[in-house]
A and B are shown apart, each in its own frame.
Chain A
Amino acid sequence: MNLFSHAALSHWLAAFDAASPLVISGSAAAGLLVTSLVLLGLERRAVRSPVAVAALAALAFAIAWCPVARPGWAPLAAGLVTAALARDRDDPLHAECSLKLLWVMGPALALSWAGLSLLTLATGTPIVIEQWAVLQLGLDPRFLWSTALPLALLAGLVLLGGAPFHFWVADVLQGVRPWLAAAAVVTLQSSGAAWLSSRLEGIGGFPAGRELVSDLLGIAAFAAFVAGAATLLVQRRPERRVGTLASLNGAIMLAALAAGRPPGPAALAAWSGHLALALGGAATVARFLPTFAGPAPGVPLFRRHPWTGIAGLYALASLAGVPGTPGAMLWLASAKALAAAGRTGLLLVLSAAWIAALTAAMRQWRQAFGVAAPAASVPLAGRVPLQARLALWIAACGLVALGALRLWRV
């Protein structure tokens, strides 16, 4: 059989569909790992140690495992990220980010743990599906489970990075070195999505709980979209813009959950896989983009290697859900879920946030290329390392592959 015939292609695609979601998230995580390892090559010798490689591998594993992860993985992932950040004692920004993450995620996980314990206490079982069945009997006071359930979701909310917790995503992407920043953010956000998905598994069997969760997550998604969109339009630093876009990607997961349809492993894998590749590329290209301070000539990356720059901006565009990119399909899927659930307000806010994301992406595009300057007037200074260019191409190719194999075919 010809390997490139239509039948062979269909065969391969069917085989890919049948494969476990872990293949998708694993492939994307591998792409992010390679990107991060390539960027690690740019660091000083003291940083380029086997420990750093092991930390990156562990983070990639956490991302790959996300579709089937249990809630217990989230504290491990948060601990891993915090430790990886705190390890470089010479870097004050790493230490600051580590402290902030610890400061917010420690209490959030503790509160959620308290909520989980309360639910276990009330129902007599730690198994989620059994808990809904017990609560559906109506033997427990409403006050108890309606207090425990929101607390149990809090950690997922913080880890997803939706507003008002969108600050940590931008802080990490701005303050942490490129080789670690994207991997850390994707690990935490994927863990948050996995936390919420696994906590809400089978909640359809307990309508009162589903209603409560739908309302609460709807409010959270609403706040995340509004604050994310407003923040995005006033931000000037590219790294923080990318961070807010990642936060909005967390919000679209929240919206899907608020629609009352917890994503299955395949959807979770597609979401986290896309986030890994898009954030890997966008966070890398953001390091070469200028902080906006009025019209200025294009940055060296776009003057020396415009196609590589475009590959980086493609990742950013996908993160923003620019039509035609794989990321747009995720935004559309969330919007359709909201429409099917009749959540008009949330759908309109999601649309507004999407428009803000598109605006930010187009603005970034224009600022990257800058104004045309006569060749003689502005010297073409600044080197663009080969590793960075390689990382941008890996992310862009990975996104195209993810789109072709999964997202564009939905």
Chain B
Amino acid sequence: MTDATTESHRALRVTRTGGVLCALGFVLIGWPSLFAAALGLELVAAAFWCWARAAEDRAEQLPRWAWLRRPASALWLAAGLHAVVRDTGLGVQPAFQTLPGVVARVEALAVLWGGLELMAALPLARPFSDRAGPLGATGPWLPVMLPAAGFLVLWRHAALWTDLPDVRTAALVLLLVTACLAALRAFGRRPWTASLRWLAVGDCALGGALVALRAVPADAALLLWLGACGGHALLLAGELGGAATRRGPRPHRLWRVAAWTALASLSWPVLSTLGFGPPDVANPAFALAAAAAVALAAWVSVGRLVEAPERRTMVRREAAVPLIQIGAVATLAAGPVALAIAWWSGFEPSWTDSLAALTPAIAGGWAAGIGGRRSLAERPTLAGLAPRVAARGRRARRAARAAFDSIVAFERRLVAVLGRIAFALIAPARDLHTGDAQEYLLFLAGVAVLALVLPLLR
């Protein structure tokens, strides 16, 4: 067997191993147990490591995805604390000052950490969706799995963190900031594949906000998220498979409508609850932030999904019943079905609230539909506007990129400063230990004196 054949076999084995790990990981993340979720995230991290260690550019890929163990660690922490408190029977919903109260908060924060970091909602690894994953042709699609895993963690273990109002509010703030940043980034990036990855991040953040708001039942929230994020994930998959989703006028139109419908369905309960919900939940500032994110995401979803010209002289037989279009129909149906379930369970906002909640999505989609360069160029009366709109669009994209970059740079600087402070605090302790035998005796003397002094100080 030649070296090339051996290498290709090995690459196939690595791809399959990572795929199996990822699939198993997602099954476990969906399981109700925290230990299963932690193991699931560990397997997803292991899959990325498996792919990265075999990649051509492994020196870059390995450190790039090393952070994936952090969310898994956070989930292990939550699982461990849960096991300790649950098994000692110390109760539920305890006061903050008690041990179970503190543990419940730490547990909630750990679950939140795991979910939010995967959803790019923490400033530690926020820009991961900018880059492709560590696996050859499928690489650009892989990062979509991470916010999806984050959402599933938050959704599955919602009871642990949504019952604590302070934790829930903190989560809501982070998720809405992430939704805005993701929409900004999706708008600012020129490659459509990168924009789709960021749109998926935005969908997950809005989905997380929906879980935090508890506006609709859990199964409806899952279906709403599945429609929005799944639609963008399928679009990205189609994009990597020769832009199948937008080749031809009908598929193109179908996908535009489907993506917009899914996003509008997801945004409806979020915005109506944030804007017009109960007084303890409604927050105009949050509602405005969410509305801005939804409008921009709707604009990008619809406006950037341009029709690809069909260059093939003969369409392949298997393309006659394209599976990807079935995905579009599913995406189209998911949102309305989920809203019907929610309505059946008591989600009944007034007509005016609903209209107001749907306005950002409608505005974004409508502006993209009529304001796109192609649309303008197709209308003789507005054709003169096209160059000006294009120039403004370029400037707006540059501004969006600059805004996102400056925010991420600020966050990084902040994290670096905190890291340096922590290092400065630890440094004297490290300097204490030089490995010299004499210092061991000094340690002993110090501890002995401390042991004598501490009881006297009590």
Q: Contact check: which of A143, A336, A371 meets B84 at CB < 8 Å?
A: A336
Name A352's closest neighbour in chain B (CB-CB).
Answer: B77
B residues less than 8 Å from A348 (CB atoms): 102-103, 106
Please determine whether A216 and B99 come into contact, CB atoms closer than 8 angstroms.
no
A147 within 8 A of B: yes
Identify A323's interface contact among B76, B84, B445, CB under 8 A: B76
If A167-B440, A359-B73 touch, does A371 touch B62 (CB 8 Å cutoff)? yes
Q: Do A339 and B452 have beta carbons less than 8 Å apart? A: no
Q: How far is the CA of A153 from the CA of B452 in the complex (A)?
A: 11
Contact B437 A147 (CB under 8 A): no
Instruction: Tell me which residues across on chain A come within 8 A of B76, comparing CB atoms.
Output: 323, 354-355, 358
Q: For chain B residues 276-314, which have a beta carbon within 8 Å of chain A?
A: none
Stretch from A34-42, A85-93, A197-205, A372-380 forming part of the interface with B? A372-380
* Bound CA span A355–B74, Å: 8
Q: A107-B444, A167-B435 are in contact. Are A354 and B452 (CB under 8 A)?
A: no
Chain B residues in 8 Å Cβ range of A347: 84, 99, 103
Q: Which of A148-193 contact B (CB under 8 A)?
A: 149-151, 153-154, 157-158, 164-165, 167-168, 171
Query: Does A83 touch B at the CB level, under 8 Å?
Result: no
Residues of B408-455 contacting chain A, CB below 8 A: 426, 429-430, 433, 435, 437-438, 440-441, 443-448, 451-452, 454-455
- Contacts A167-B440, A375-B3 given; does A150 touch B454 at CB 8 Å: yes
**Is the C-beta of A295 less than 8 angstroms from some C-beta in chain B?**
yes
How many whole Å from B409's CB to the nearest CB in chain A? 26
Residues of B contacting A371 in the complex (Cβ-Cβ under 8 angstroms): 53-54, 58, 62
A134 at interface by CB-CB < 8 Å: no
Q: Is B35 an interface residue (CB 8 A)?
A: yes
Q: Which residues of B contact A342 (CB under 8 A)?
A: 99
B187 to chain A, nearest CB (A): 36
CB-nearest residue of chain B relative to A370? B53
Q: Does B374 contact A (CB under 8 A)?
A: no
Instruction: Indicate whether A351 sits within 8 Å of B80 (C-beta atoms), given known contacts A336-B87, A344-B99.
Output: yes
| Chain B residues, CB < 8 A from A171 | 435
* In contact, B102 and A344 (Cβ under 8 angstroms): yes
Q: Is B367 an interface residue (CB 8 A)?
A: no
B85 interface residue (CB < 8 Å to A):
yes
What residue of chain A has the Cβ atom nearest to residue B422's Cβ?
A230
Stretch at the interface among B6-14, B167-175, B177-185, B381-389: B6-14
Q: Is B59 an interface residue (CB 8 A)?
A: yes
- Residues of chain B within 8 A (CB-CB) of A375 are 3, 6
Q: Are B440 and A111 in contact (CB under 8 A)?
A: no
B101 CB, min distance to chain A CBs, angstroms: 9
Asked if A17 is at the interface (CB within 8 A of a chain B CB), the reply is no
Looking across the interface, which residue of chain B has its beta carbon closest to that of A344? B99
Name the residue on B nearest A143 (C-beta).
B456
Q: Measured between C-beta atoms, what is the minimum distance from A156 to chain B in Å?
A: 12
- A267 CB–B CB distance under 8 Å: no
**Contacts between the two chains (Cβ within 8 Å), count:** 135
Smallest CB separation, B11 vs chain A (Å): 9
Note all chain A residues with C-beta closer than 8 A to B85: 339
Shortest distance between the CB of A298 and any CB in chain B (Å): 9
Cross-chain contact A216 with B455 (CB below 8 angstroms): yes
Tell me, rounded to whole Å, the shortest Cβ–Cβ distance linking A368 to chain B.
12
Known: A212-B455, A339-B99, A347-B103. A358 touches B73 (CB 8 A): yes
Q: Within 8 Å of chain A (Cβ to Cβ): is B24? A: no
Inside 8 A of B39's CB, which chain A residues have their CB?
323
- Report if A405 contacts B (CB, 8 A): no
Q: Which of B73, B83, B437, B452 contacts A103 (CB 8 A)?
A: B437
Q: What distance in Å separates the Cβ of B418 from its nearest Cβ neighbour in chain A?
A: 16
Flag whether B93 is at the interface (Cβ < 8 A).
no
Bound CA–CA A352/B109 (angstroms): 14
What are the interface flags for B27-59 relative to A under an 8 Å C-beta threshold, 1 for contact and 0 otherwise?
000000001001100100000010001100011
CB of A116 within 8 Å of the partner chain: no
CB of B81 within 8 A of chain A?
yes
Interchain nearest-CB distance for A86 vs B (Å)? 14
Specify which chain B residues have a CB less than 8 angstroms from the CB of A149 in the assembled complex.
455
B58 touches A150 (CB 8 A): no
- B84–A335 contact, CB under 8 A? yes
Q: Which residues of B contact A157 (CB under 8 A)?
A: 447
Q: How far is the CA of A146 from the CA of B433 in the complex (A)?
A: 30
> Which chain A positions have C-beta within 8 A of B350?
none
- Cβ-based interface call for A340 (8 A): yes
Q: Is the Cβ of B103 less than 8 Å from the Cβ of A372?
A: no
Asked whether A104 lies within 8 Å of B444 as measured between CB atoms, the reply is: yes
Instruction: Determine if A103 and B447 form an interchain contact, defined as CB atoms under 8 angstroms apart.
Output: no
* CB–CB A146/B80 < 8 A: no
Once the chains bind, are A351 and B451 in contact (CB under 8 Å)?
Answer: no
Asked if B458 is at the interface (CB within 8 A of a chain A CB), the reply is yes
Answer yes or no: B90 CB below 8 A from chain A CBs: yes
A372 touches B441 (CB 8 A): no
Q: Which B residues lie within 8 Å of A108 (CB)?
A: 444
The 8 Å CB contact of A372, one of B54, B99, B433, B448, is B54
Complex CA–CA separation, A230 to B425 (angstroms): 12
**Inside 8 A of A146's CB, which chain B residues have their CB?**
455-456
Structural contact, B88 and A295, CB atoms closer than 8 A: no
| Least distance between A231 CB and chain B CB atoms (Å) | 9
A362 at the A/B interface (Cβ < 8 Å)? yes
Please tell me if the beta carbons of B444 and A158 are within 8 angstroms of each other in the complex.
Answer: yes
B440–A103 touching, CB < 8 Å: yes
A154-B447, A154-B451, A372-B53 known; A335-B426 Cβ under 8 A: no
Are the C-beta atoms of A295 and B62 separated by less than 8 Å?
yes
* A397 beta carbon closer than 8 Å to chain B: no
Do A104 and B53 contact each other (CB < 8 Å), given the known contacts A354-B80, A374-B7? Answer: no
Contact residues of A between 337 and 361, Cβ < 8 Å to B: 339-340, 342-344, 347-348, 351-352, 354-355, 358-359
Question: Apart from A219-B454, A339-B85, A344-B103, what 10 extra A-B contacts exist at CB < 8 Å?
Answer: A99-B437, A103-B441, A107-B441, A107-B445, A151-B452, A164-B443, A171-B435, A340-B88, A347-B99, A371-B54
Cβ-closest 9 pairs across A and B: A150-B451, A146-B455, A372-B54, A104-B440, A371-B53, A335-B84, A344-B99, A100-B437, A339-B88
A-B contact pairs, 20 of them (CB 8 A): A99-B437, A104-B440, A104-B443, A107-B444, A111-B444, A150-B451, A150-B454, A154-B451, A164-B447, A165-B440, A168-B440, A227-B429, A230-B429, A323-B76, A323-B80, A339-B90, A354-B76, A359-B69, A359-B73, A372-B10
